[in-house]
Amino acid sequence: MASSLKKLISSFLLVLYYTTIIVASSESRCRRFKSIISFGDSIADTGNYLHLSDVNHLPQTAFLPYGESFFHPPSGRASDGRLIIDFIAEFLGLPYVPPYFGSQNVSFEQGINFAVYGATALDRAFLVGKGIESDFTNVSLSVQLDIFKQILPNLCASSTRDCKEVLGDSLILMGEIGGNDYNYPLFEGKIINEIKELVPLIIKAISSAIVDLIDLGGKTFLVPGGFPAGCSAAYLTLFQTVAEKDHEPFTGCIPWLNEFGEHHNEQLKSELERLQKLYPHVNIIYADYHNPLYRFYQEPAKYGFKNRPLAACCGVGGQYNFTIGKECGYEGVSYCQNPSEYVNWDGYHLTEAAYQKMAEGILNGPYAIPAFDWSCLGSGSVDKEYSFSS
């Protein structure tokens, strides 16, 4: 009898233990985010590159038609309107995240964005040493992270809460980053096998940044993969000598470029899974940018786009309305009057409409792995059926 009672108590305690673990795990996955901290490149840049530029040599994103669908005048975003980071902020009921560079009052409440147009995951000196010498920004991922670490003591000093607690309540957007590390050598004519050697180095740079931020108190990371580059007007124009038979029959995209992008994404997912096992108390979410975007090219009408989804809305010339050196924002370059029907904005970047649908698929759909858990949030907070304004 005593033995049976002892076993029963042991079983009860074991169930209680695992229940506690599961509940604790569940609670740690659902958070009321109080700010967004962002690192990356032009896919998330809300104005940093514009503020870093010489006033006499402003980037194209400083001029119309950039921003014409929403911000008026241009904000420095590489689109006709809002980016994925903006739709995430709307969804969470947070302010649009201002660029760090050029901001007067940096605070966690406003959110902080270090993403810079043209930024790379790997440092400039390393890429130059590899013979990649494009005129790119020097604000790589490690530089962005170093700046954040430098300003963190002052940011925390101005808060009434513990620094780790503030970081724990922030959604940390880690990218998209790494795409430019491939773009520059591809546009310089480097062979794909040579470029493939960069993949593990880029993944390591992203992983190291995440670990640094975990050590500082970060709890939730949204880490995007790359786009299907073989469907971009820029690459389709660059490789326009590729025979029609070597394009995908249903989309018209270049398959070997998309396969390379998927290789990067698979390596990134594997590394994120490894990190998640090492740090079970944090939530590391992979944002699939490849598959929703690829579906727009496969079935444009289903998602509200026109049946010529590969062409840029803003551009001039050729099959894809894109000419290298005569791009969107330059004098004499026109743009479509209905950007919401286009996927591709300027040959490199997407329209607000495409970003909006991608954001919806990440926040409420199948393109966040694992999916976001909004179960702990009341009706007065995040609305799971949130419909983005157009």
**Residue 37's closest CA among 217, 201, 246?**
217
What whole-number distance in Å separates Cα of residue 260 and Cα of residue 229? Answer: 9
pLDDT of residue 308: 83
What whole-number distance in Å separates Cα of residue 387 and Cα of residue 214? Answer: 32
Q: Name 49's Cβ contacts closer than 8 Å, sequence gap at least 6.
A: 42, 59, 61, 76, 116, 117, 118, 137
Asked if 349 is an active-site residue, the reply is yes
pLDDT of residue 378: 64
- Residue 179: C-alpha distances to residues 117, 264, 269, 289 (Å): 11, 9, 15, 12
Tokens of 248: 């995908």
pLDDT of residue 176: 96
What whole-number distance in Å separates Cα of residue 20 and Cα of residue 290? Answer: 37
Query: Angle formed by the axes of helices 199-216 and 255-278, to 10°?
Result: 30
Asked if 181 is an active-site residue, the reply is no
pLDDT of residue 22: 40
For each successive 10 residues of the chain (390 residues), what is the average pLDDT? 45 39 49 95 98 94 96 96 98 97 90 97 95 87 98 87 92 97 96 96 98 98 98 95 81 96 98 98 98 97 93 96 94 95 98 98 96 77 40
pLDDT of residue 381: 43
Beta-strand relationship, 35-39 and 112-113: parallel
pLDDT of residue 390: 35
pTM attached to this predicted model: 0.90
pLDDT of residue 6: 44
- Residue 197: C-alpha distances to residues 182, 262, 270 (Å): 10, 15, 17
pLDDT of residue 273: 98
Q: Quick one: how far is CA 390 from the chain centroid?
A: 21
* Exposure string for 315-341, b = 16+ CB within 10 A, e = fewer: bbeeebbbbeeebbbeeebebbeebbb
What whole-number distance in Å separates Cα of residue 156 and Cα of residue 170? Answer: 13
Asked if 346 is an active-site residue, the reply is yes
Strands (E), 71-212: 112-113, 170-174
pLDDT of residue 375: 87
What whole-number distance in Å separates Cα of residue 187 and Cα of residue 170? Answer: 36
Q: Quick one: how far is CA 247 from the chain centroid?
A: 27
From 35, 42, 142, 207, the catalytic residue: 42
